[in-house]
Amino acid sequence: MTGWTRQDIPRARSAVTEPVAAGMEAFAQSWASAIIGTSYVPMTKAEVVDHLRGLTELLVEALLADTFRTSAAHEVGIRLVEAHFTGTETLDRTVQLMGDDLLTELGRDTEPHLRSRIAALQGALSAGYAQSLRERTLDEQEAIREAVLDARDHAEAALRASEARFRAVFAEAAIGMGISDTDGNILEVNQSLQDMLGYPASELRQRNLRSLMHPADAESVWGFYEQLLHGERDHFRVEKRFNRRDGEAVWTHLTISLVRDDDGQPAYQVAMVEDVTDRHLLQNRLRYQALHDPLTTLPNRALFLERLSKAFDGGSAGTRIGLCYLDLDGFKVINDSLGHDIGDQLLVSVANRLDESVAGDGRLVARMGGDEFVILIEGSTGTQSIVDIADRVLDSLTGPIRIDGHELSVSASIGLVEREINGTTSADLMRDADITLYWAKADGKGRWAMYDPERNAREVARFTLSATMPAALERDEFYVDYQPLVRLEDSKVLGVEALVRWQHPEFGRLAPDRFIELAEETGLIVPLGRWVLRKACQQARRWLDAFGDATPFVSVNLAVRQSRDPALVNDVKSILEEFALPPHLLQLELTESAIMGTADEPLEALRQLSGMGVRIAIDDFGTGYSNLAYLKHLPVHELKIAGSFMEGMRAADGADPVDAKIVSTLVSLAHALGLTVTAEGVETPSQAERLRKIGCDAGQGWLFARPGRPDQIETLF
Ligand code: C2E
Ligand code: MG
Ligand code: MG
């Protein structure tokens, strides 16, 4: 609809006289009053009057024209509609007002031809009005139709745009995407997915998702997928490997989501596939670095432990496992003397030889660190198989290794453990392999040792004993028994040997062979020996008080370590002083090896002790490597002949003539050197009798008395 203003109305100038102008003005005012409330028009009242003034002029001009035409009235009808005077009352009131007032206002109501002109004008105005109104309605309908069409086009365009956008996103996305139906048949794939997998869309569309399984897929992948197919899961995300058409592997992050229809039933699956191959390869490389030894490239401790614990997790009943724990012998010497560089190269050579000699299924050769290597045998077939491997390893190391002009020979010690997985743990296995390696070293190196539970039990007991010994000493769990040394001639008790025992709270009474050696190893023998010495001297003091001159000397065993203890002389001196014990009532027993093999210092100590008046005896004489000629330079007073020679001292028929000869020779020799002789282990009267005949001074043994408490022994004094 076009806009309309009063300037557009052509002004009628002819035939308008003064009284006519006044009449027109009056009519325009009445007309405005009559129709202003009938329609909504966007004009003020003044504007309405102004508008109608123009229309009145047109009507009056046509009314008074010489040649009467109704077209102006037709035009006025049109213009009323154009000015939005379209209310239902408007036309009525206008037509009525024209008939009633127009001629009157003009002062011409008496002229009949004007009356008939009014009627014609009324008709033309009505026709123009009606025509215009109809056109306007049609226009409006058309506008609405167009608006509707417009709007529809708009919505369609928007839909098309959003579809296009989605299609572009799908097609152009850097991430691979695919859509499949509920059976997994692939319906759509985008370019990225085609590129990633190396298959064209046409080929992928003929496939089912399940055909993209990979042997390396975790079971969970396809478990999740089945759940998704059954609508039990809406999406899942996994790392999964695909094989490209060219055979290369692609590692992906795969997310599959379920799209449901309006009823909630599974309708489609949408897969998003992100290529993470680079990241995966990097991770693999980092993982490789983390799990391998950079020097030898062998698997490292971490990888070994991982494989070991997997072997335990995955093993079924009856599965066996084997472990060779290997340590090079004397590697430190090579490292220290030839330098770390050569040491490193040696390790590399050893690693290569190991790897070559035991390579095979289910076997892992790893470097545990330093010069320690381990071979894990999964699914071992028994101890023999692992012994074979250990032999092969030792063999492979026999040939010299050439490095930088050095010809190095290496050997290794190997601890072997082989057993069923059931009933053991990886920690047990490692601990036992470690123990066994130690045995192989202790047994002489360059060899293997097989784990032996009994040996282990013994060692564990030994270890327990040695660990608890210091506390036992403080808790007074030790005590001393005494055994007399008896003069063969008249059975007089010359001395008593102090023999230590351990009343163990758990193991009961322990003889010294169970713990003396241990105490020597740990060094506890020094305080323990000092304790025995003090106990024995204390006892001797009591006997001295009770028996006076008849009191025998106490003979106390001195371990090798004690004899080398710089504090020995002072200890003895202060203990003797503590009990005011005359030194000749104390005898110290040392083994041959303790005396013979020593440097000057301990000998000096013995000389000092001897100088103080303390007796020195050589214990178990004849069992060691004695340099008899050397004896005369030693500060010794007595030889104790080892009990093992007493076989030869039995009754003539059961005697060993060689033993008998040795004993009589020893006795003569000792006497030649001015020493007294005591025979140990005298069990029978005939032994005692023969010893007496040979000239042996004293005897010690069950024949006279078993070692016992002081009050049992003193009855013999
Ligand atoms: P030893 O010094 O040669 O002590 C003699 C061992 O022979 C004692 O064994 C004694 O019980 C045993 N014996 C005595 N008479 C007979 C016999 O007629 N037949 C047989 N078959 N054996 C007899 P025990 O008490 O078991 O002591 C073993 C070793 O332990 C001692 O051998 C000694 O070397 C060591 N020992 C004992 N007490 C001490 C100690 O206080 N300090 C140190 N360093 N060593 C000690
Ligand atoms: Mg002894
Ligand atoms: Mg002895």
Ligand 1 contacts CB of residue 683 (under 6 A): yes
Ligand 1 contacts CB of residue 500 (under 6 A): yes
Ligand 1 contacts CB of residue 288 (under 6 A): no
As a residue count, the chain comes to 717
Nearest CA-CA partner of 501 in 707, 712, 715 = 707
681: alpha, beta or left? (left if phi > 0; alpha if psi -120 to 50): left
Under 8 Å between Cβ of 48 and 36: yes
Which is it for strands 401-403 and 406-408: parallel, antiparallel or unpaired?
A: antiparallel
Residue 480 Cα to ligand 2 middle (Å): 13
Residue 89 has pLDDT above 60, yes or no: yes
- Residues within 5 Å of ion ligand 3 by Cβ? 619-620, 680
Q: For residue 332, give both structure tokens.
A: 């430190």
- The model's pLDDT over 371-406, given as tens digits with 9 standing for 90+, comes to 999 999 999 999 999 999 999 999 999 989 999 888
Q: Whose CA is nearest to atom 45 of ligand 1?
A: 557
**Ligand nearest to C-alpha 499:** 1
Residue 482 has pLDDT above 70, yes or no: yes
Q: Cα–Cα–Cα angle for 132, 135, 139, nearest 5°?
A: 135
Residue appearing with tokens 């050696």:
517
DSSP 708: B
**Ligand nearest to C-alpha 534:** 1
Question: Domain-by-domain residue ranges, the chain?
Answer: 6-137, 173-280, 298-451, 467-714
**pLDDT, average across residues 248-269:** 89
Phi, psi of 495 (to 5 degrees): -150, 175
**What's domain 467-714's architecture?**
Alpha-Beta Barrel (3.20)
H/E stretch holding 254 reads strand 249-260
What is the fold of 173-280? Beta-Lactamase (3.30.450)
- Ligand 1 atom with the shortest distance to the CA of 620: 3
Ligand 1 contacts CB of residue 499 (under 6 A): yes
Residue 679 Cα to ligand 3 middle (Å): 9
What is the fold of 298-451? Alpha-Beta Plaits (3.30.70)
Alpha carbon separation from 480 to 167, 536, 709 (Å, rounded):
100, 8, 8
Strand partners, 553: 495
Q: What is the pLDDT of residue 15?
A: 52
SS3 556: strand
Lowest mean pLDDT among 118-132, 150-164, 303-317, 649-663: 649-663
Which is it for strands 478-487 and 186-189: parallel, antiparallel or unpaired?
A: unpaired
- Ligand 1 atom with the shortest distance to the CA of 480: 41
Residue 589 Cα to ligand 1 middle (Å): 11
Q: What is the pLDDT of residue 626?
A: 67
Q: Is 429 exposed, middle or buried (0-12, 13-18, 19+ CB in 10 A)?
A: buried
Q: For a pocket test of ligand 1, which of 478, 479, 499, 517 has the largest count of ligand atoms closer than 8 A to its C-beta?
A: 499
> Where does the pLDDT of residue 276 fall: very low under 50, low under 70, confident under 90, or very high at 90 and above?
confident
Nearest CA-CA partner of 53 in 84, 90, 17, 22 = 22
Ligand 1 contacts CB of residue 702 (under 6 A): yes
- Ligand 1 atom with the shortest distance to the CA of 499: 38
User: Can you tell me the distance from the alpha carbon of 619 to that of 229, in angstroms, rounded to the nearest whole number?
Assistant: 90
Q: What is the pLDDT of residue 651?
A: 67
Under 8 Å between Cβ of 56 and 125: no
> Where does the pLDDT of residue 652 fall: very low under 50, low under 70, confident under 90, or very high at 90 and above?
low
**pLDDT, average across residues 329-341:** 92
Q: What is the pLDDT of residue 555?
A: 98
709: alpha, beta or left? (left if phi > 0; alpha if psi -120 to 50): beta
User: Can you tell me the distance from the alpha carbon of 29 to that of 56, in angstroms, rounded to the nearest whole number?
Assistant: 10
Amino acid identity of residue 64, one-letter, is: L
Nearest CA-CA partner of 275 in 184, 173, 180, 188 = 173
Alpha carbon separation from 481 to 488, 563, 706 (Å, rounded):
22, 22, 9
Provide the b/e sequence for 247-282 (b: ≥16 CB within 10 Å): eeebbbbbbbebeeeeeeebeebbbbbbbbbeebee
User: Can you tell me the distance from the alpha carbon of 301 to that of 324, in angstroms, rounded to the nearest whole number?
Assistant: 14
> Where does the pLDDT of residue 598 fall: very low under 50, low under 70, confident under 90, or very high at 90 and above?
low
- Sheet hosting strand 412-420, strand order edge to edge: 363-369, 372-378, 320-328, 412-420, 448-450
Ligand 1 contacts CB of residue 529 (under 6 A): yes
Under 8 Å between Cβ of 451 and 457: no
Q: For a pocket test of ligand 1, which of 537, 557, 595 has the largest count of ligand atoms closer than 8 A to its C-beta?
A: 557
Q: Whose CA is nearest to atom 3 of ligand 1?
A: 620
User: Can you tell me the distance from the alpha carbon of 578 to that of 541, in angstroms, rounded to the nearest whole number?
Assistant: 10
Ligand 1 contacts CB of residue 516 (under 6 A): yes
User: Can you tell me the distance from the alpha carbon of 267 to that of 260, in angstroms, rounded to the nearest whole number?
Assistant: 5
Residue 615 Cα to ligand 2 middle (Å): 13
**Ligand nearest to C-alpha 678:** 3
Residue 289 has pLDDT above 50, yes or no: yes
Nearest CA-CA partner of 292 in 220, 213, 355 = 355
> Where does the pLDDT of residue 12 fall: very low under 50, low under 70, confident under 90, or very high at 90 and above?
very low
The 3 state secondary structure assigned to 634-654 is CCCCEEEECHHHHHHHCCHHH
Ligand 1 contacts CB of residue 528 (under 6 A): no
Residue 167 Cα to ligand 1 middle (Å): 100
Ligand 1 contacts CB of residue 479 (under 6 A): no
Q: Whose CA is nearest to atom 5 of ligand 1?
A: 680
Average pLDDT, the chain: 89
SS3 359: coil
- The model's pLDDT over 173-215, given as tens digits with 9 standing for 90+, comes to 888 999 999 888 999 999 999 999 999 999 999 988 888 778 7
DSSP 509: E
**Ligand nearest to C-alpha 482:** 1
Q: Whose CA is nearest to atom 7 of ligand 1?
A: 681
Under 8 Å between Cβ of 515 and 461: no
Residue 650 Cα to ligand 1 middle (Å): 21
Under 8 Å between Cβ of 551 and 717: yes
Q: For residue 189, give both structure tokens.
A: 């794939």
Residue 546 Cα to ligand 3 middle (Å): 28
- The model's pLDDT over 521-568, given as tens digits with 9 standing for 90+, comes to 889 999 999 999 999 999 999 999 999 999 999 999 999 999 989 999
**pLDDT, average across residues 338-359:** 93
DSSP 138: H
